[in-house]
Structure 1
Amino acid sequence: MAYDAGQIGPLGPQHKAVPAGARGLTGAQLVARRPGLAELPTPLLTLDAGALERNVTAMAAWARAAGVDLAPHGKTTMAPSIWRRQLRAGACGITVATPWQLTVALDAGVPWVLAAYPVLDPGVLAVLARPRAARVLAWADGPDVVRLTSRGLCAAGEPAQPLDVLVELGAPGGRTGARSLGAALEVARAVAAAPGLRLAGVTGYEGALAHDASPASLARVRAWLEDLRALHERLGADGAYGEVPGGPGGGLVVSAGGSAYFDLVAEVLAPLHDPAGERGAPVRVVVRAGAYVAHDDGFYRGITPLARAAGGGEGFRSALHGWARVVSRPEPGLALADAGKRDLPLDEGLPEVQAVRRGGSGATEPLAGASVTALNDQHAFVRLTGEAESVRVGDVLRLGVSHPCTAFDKWQLLPVLDDASAAQPVLVDLVRTVFG
């Protein structure tokens, strides 16, 4: 078992992915029985073991070939067992997006944590002021952020070690981030002068500037990345960077790259990557893509950089699938299935019907002519045409989903199947998420 099944105690009603008859078993005992998909309840969201492994391996290989480091965004899964697999594959650390997520990463023993936001929570700053083994890097986009971060960190006296801070560069119309080179330089000066803080590099999020792979969007992202590079080079030329420790995980950090444009990050920023300091101060270019680990059958399928590369998107495969049982055929051309908004994501597109299991236990077979047109809290409206009119009450539909970041948070426990496309998929592990 590669993930969490061996660490999960008695299963109970809080685990909606677990068969009612398995309550009281441990995770290991359930998996040891190797139940087939037909024995699991619906609605259900599952992970595909082979696709997960393929995605982790493919992204690690891409980062090595591109000459950058990878600190995948942990908010995608909030599953420490998946984080550990990404770290074993070569990721330098994990990225988080809230103070609470930062504490989860530290509790999980992550050695290098990029907090992709300003750390202002007094309680978390108190934790960071104490001795710690992990390197933590936070963001700042204004002198006001710097003042509050420093004040909270030093509230109980001198911190045990400085908190590394990255200057966040934004753009007009974007999300957070200093809106100009001049504003970013002002932030850098404030960090360098603030007690308890250490200026450690530059960062930002290009995904807020575009939402597709059109030439105009790619040009806008590339221009912003060139501005980020110019900011880093200006800070170096001005002598703004202080002494930042080198060695494993050390050095200055230049970070960008969500799951949609990491190829452009490598194109523009990879020449800066010099973790050994062979050309001066050690510098790490860190990509933060996270959605790749599960990929999807929607938004990321269409925008992943590997789909733009020669040969198409062969590197990633969707590891997430919904399973919904048809509970009503109230009129011709319509089926109602038992999965809704509380089970499946819909913020980046509705689920797509991919296959059917007749009677809930038949072999998984492709299904054409069925489409989800709406989701209620606990129901999916499925429009049926052509051969899909053969769908009956009791059949189970396999659904592809869009946007993994809003899929994992609906499930405390996710079954891992050997192969979601197999005629009779089998449960081989469990992944536990931590969403609070």
Structure 2
Amino acid sequence: MDINQLDTPSLLLDLQTMEANLKRIDTFAKSQGIAWRPHIKTHKSIEIAKRQIAAGACGITVAKVAEAEVMAKAGIADILIAYPLASRTKLERVAALLRNARIILAVDSAEQASHVDSFFRERGQVIDVWIKLDSGLRRCGVDPGEPTLELAKQVSRMPNLQLKGLFTHAGHSYAASSSEQIEQIARHEGTCIVESAQLCERHGIPIEVRSVGSTPTYELAGKVPGITEVRPGNAVFFDAIQVGLGVAAYDQCALRLISTVVSKREGERLVLDTGSKSLALDQGAHGNATVKGFGYVVGHPEIVIQRLSEEHGVAAIEGETSLGLLDRVQIIPNHACTVMNLFDRVHVVRDGEVIDIWRIDARGHVQ
């Protein structure tokens, strides 16, 4: 099927571009002698997760237990849940997953770790945990250095927790205003993990895994000596935010929406059949201000999507445009992760032809 036979709005995934993005991650990891564990919250797809493993990933990262359940059921056997869990309901679901997969849990406080330890002690099970550090995002995580060491000591005394690693996510890199600022954030991201791990080891606590994430920083933080793993998520697709940050070019963005012009006021505006329910209202995570409008209209820089209602994308015409009623455009989303979660399926494209349709298996799995 030619993509122009698709009804709109439809979600498109350029397979060759995605494969090139996967090769970029794997080539970088191999060049540094480290592992990569992509975050699947970007795509929520079993097919893509399996392709990441086939391309060289050591396992996957998820945000939610529900995502882990989908991936473990599909045969993914090494999963980090990079989210601090403490409730009994969620830990019971994790315990069930241990029959089929290695699950790693995140801890960022002694109180939360004690909940996890008590739960697994009741079951006579031991679970691997990594301590999450706050490298500047000011979200979850313990501070680097002495606070990390103190938590590591406490976790090491909990018999049903096996401390295996330290990790962090420098998501504040999305708010960077220059490449120099991204480099500074990445350097701190890597060094705070390595130095905290070294501090723990000087006190007799071995730290096997030293993991960093964030698509804008992984190729920089991953070069810090002592880092053993990177966890980029968005890098499987890239998007307009990553282009704005200088991390990728538009032709490296694998995920796009195809949309139709449904209304036009000459010289002023046109309306596309994609609104907030397909493009999302995201204009940048954590303060990012590098995007213009609500997505980049490929080949038409004169079209700026200024407003979204639920089913309408209202775009300003800045100058002259050849677009008219029923013309189709492709849109690179600002944030691929949120857009992917709005669709049930994605049309896989090669050279303008739809060659497959993949389910977005963990779409809406937020618990």
Report deviation, 1:173. 6.1
Report deviation, 1:378. 0.6
Partner residue, 1:380:
313
Report deviation, 1:153. 2.3
Report deviation, 1:119. 2.6
**1:219-278 Cα deviation digits (max 9, x unpaired):** 24423421221111111121123xxxxxxxxx821111211101222221xx336xxxxx
User: After alignment, is 408-417 or 95-104 more displaced?
Assistant: 95-104
Partner residue, 1:231:
196
Asked if 1:430 corresponds to 2:363, the answer is no
**Aligned partners of 2:108, 2:90: CA distance in 1, in Å?**
19
Question: Secondary structure at the residue paired with 2:190?
Answer: helix
**Structure 2: unaligned runs, 5 residues or longer:** 285-290
Selected match of 1:272 from 214, 226, 230: 226
Selected match of 1:208 from 136, 158, 172: 172
User: After alignment, is 65-74 or 162-171 more displaced?
Assistant: 162-171
**Aligned partners of 1:210, 1:339: CA distance in 2, in Å?**
25
**1:180-218 Cα deviation digits (max 9, x unpaired):** 422212211221111311111211112236622442453
Give the conservation status (yes or no) of the 8 Å contact 2:28–2:219.
Answer: no
Give the conservation status (yes or no) of the 8 Å contact 1:323–1:399.
Answer: yes
1:278-289 equivalences in 2 (<5 Å): 285-289=228-232
**Structure 1: unaligned runs, 5 residues or longer:** 1-34, 242-250, 274-284, 308-312, 355-365, 420-424
**Aligned partners of 2:109, 2:169: CA distance in 1, in Å?**
16
Q: Percent identity?
A: 27
**Aligned partners of 2:135, 2:54: CA distance in 1, in Å?**
35
Selected match of 1:301 from 230, 239, 243: 243
Report deviation, 1:129. 3.7
Report deviation, 1:369. 2.2
Question: Secondary structure at the residue paired with 1:76?
Answer: coil
**Aligned partners of 1:427, 1:121: CA distance in 2, in Å?**
43
Give the conservation status (yes or no) of the 8 Å contact 2:11–2:345.
Answer: no
Q: CA RMSD in A?
A: 2.2
1:107-122 equivalences in 2 (<5 Å): 107-122=73-88
Selected match of 1:176 from 130, 140, 143: 140
Partner residue, 2:118:
151
Output the amino acid matched with 1:158: G
Report deviation, 1:122. 2.1
Question: Secondary structure at the residue paired with 1:165?
Answer: strand
Report deviation, 1:113. 0.8
**Aligned partners of 1:70, 1:209: CA distance in 2, in Å?**
19
**1:271-319 Cα deviation digits (max 9, x unpaired):** 336xxxxxxxxxxx111001111112x11123365x5xxxxx69x7111
**1:331-357 Cα deviation digits (max 9, x unpaired):** 532111111110113412411222xxx
Asked if 1:394 corresponds to 2:326, the answer is yes
**Aligned partners of 1:321, 1:216: CA distance in 2, in Å?**
28
Q: TM-score of the superposition, structure 2-length normalised?
A: 0.89
Give the conservation status (yes or no) of the 8 Å contact 2:135–2:170.
Answer: no
Question: Secondary structure at the residue paired with 1:174?
Answer: coil
Q: TM-score of the superposition, structure 1-length normalised?
A: 0.75
1:9-408 equivalences in 2 (<5 Å): 35-129=1-95, 132-155=99-122, 157-159=123-125, 162-171=126-135, 174-208=138-172, 211-212=175-176, 213-241=178-206, 252-268=208-224, 271-272=225-226, 285-296=228-239, 298-303=240-245, 305=247, 317-347=252-282, 348=284, 349=291, 350-354=294-298, 366-388=299-321, 390-408=322-340
**Aligned partners of 1:172, 1:294: CA distance in 2, in Å?**
25
Report deviation, 1:133. 4.4
